[in-house]
């Protein structure tokens, strides 16, 4: 609804990332974030359930996109193909204009055990969403969970590579490759070394 200075939530997210980069996550106080955003500490916690969440707003939005893309894939598509379609669909989230932001954010997340832990929770939610969508397509359960795990791994790897500062390639490109590599690797799992 946006009154007063609008976009309180976005201002908080920006202030938080800036402060985390400057001073580190642990040495930054929720009150300081709010202050830099021109808000009060109580307002911070009205917008975010806890201090960690301020870095994960976008991650939440991914789940729905993933699930819908999986559900909307052609009925004849194999699980892996549906995952591929979902990775394509989600690539719109990772345009070049967000690359610098993504890299800064990623560096912060890597720097704190609390934040890495929260990221695992988000990825688990993503995996669950993908598994649910696959089951909705009629994929039975050990396969659906396994495929979701594989899709999540492909996403994680592709995102990590995309967010690297020196990276020039597009997300869809990287994701396709990661998924293909993983699919190929499944064949080697039952082969003696």
* Contacting residues toward a second copy, per CB under 8 A: 75-81, 116-118, 120-121, 124, 137-139, 142-143, 145-147, 149-150, 153, 178, 181-186, 188-193
CA distance 154 to 50: 28
CB of 40 to DNA, least distance (A): 3
Nearer to a second copy by Cβ, of 1 and 113: the residue is 113
Nearer to a second copy by Cβ, of 72 and 95: the residue is 72
Dmax (CA) for the chain in angstroms is 66
According to the binding rule CB under 7 A, does residue 18 interact with DNA?
Answer: no
12 close to 34: Cβ distance less than 8 angstroms: yes
Q: Which two tokens stand for residue 149?
A: 């795990």
Q: How far is CA 188 from the centre of its chain?
A: 28
Nearer to a second copy by Cβ, of 105 and 118: the residue is 118
According to the binding rule CB under 7 A, does residue 4 interact with DNA?
Answer: yes
CA distance 62 to 42: 28
Nearer to DNA by Cβ, of 38 and 95: the residue is 38
Q: Is the dihedral of CA 164, 170, 176, 180 positive or negative?
A: negative
Count of positions (residues) in the chain: 193
CB of 125 to a second copy, least distance (A): 10
Q: Among 10, 23, 24, 42, which residue interacts with DNA (rule: CB under 7 A)?
A: 42
CA distance 186 to 138: 22
Q: Is the dihedral of CA 161, 165, 167, 170 positive or negative?
A: positive
Residue 183 per-residue DSSP state: H
Contacts to DNA from residues 43-82, by CB under 7 A: 43, 45-47, 49-52
According to the binding rule CB under 7 A, does residue 15 interact with DNA?
Answer: no
CB of 31 to DNA, least distance (A): 6
Interacting residues toward DNA by CB under 7 A: 1, 3-4, 8, 28-31, 34, 38-43, 45-47, 49-52
């Amino acid at each position: 609804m946006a009154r007063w200075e609008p976009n309180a939530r976005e201002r908080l997210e920006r202030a938080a990332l800036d402060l985390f980069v400057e001073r580190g996550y642990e040495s930054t106080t929720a009150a300081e974030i709010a202050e830099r955003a021109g808000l009060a500490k109580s307002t911070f916690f009205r917008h975010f359930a806890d201090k960690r969440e301020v870095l994960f707003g976008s991650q939440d939005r991914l789940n729905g996109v993933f699930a819908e893309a999986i559900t909307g894939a052609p009925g004849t598509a194999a699980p892996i193909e549906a995952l591929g379609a979902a990775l394509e669909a989600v690539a719109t989230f990772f345009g070049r204009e967000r690359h610098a932001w993504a890299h800064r954010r990623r560096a912060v997340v890597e720097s704190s055990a609390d934040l890495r832990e929260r990221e695992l929770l988000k990825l688990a939610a993503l995996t669950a969403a993908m598994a649910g969508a696959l089951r909705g397509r009629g994929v039975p359960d050990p396969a659906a969970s396994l495929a979701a795990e594989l899709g999540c791994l492909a996403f994680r790897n592709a995102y990590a590579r995309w967010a690297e500062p020196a990276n020039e390639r597009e997300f869809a490109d990287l994701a396709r490759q990661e998924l293909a590599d993983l699919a190929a690797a499944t064949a080697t799992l039952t082969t003696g070394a």
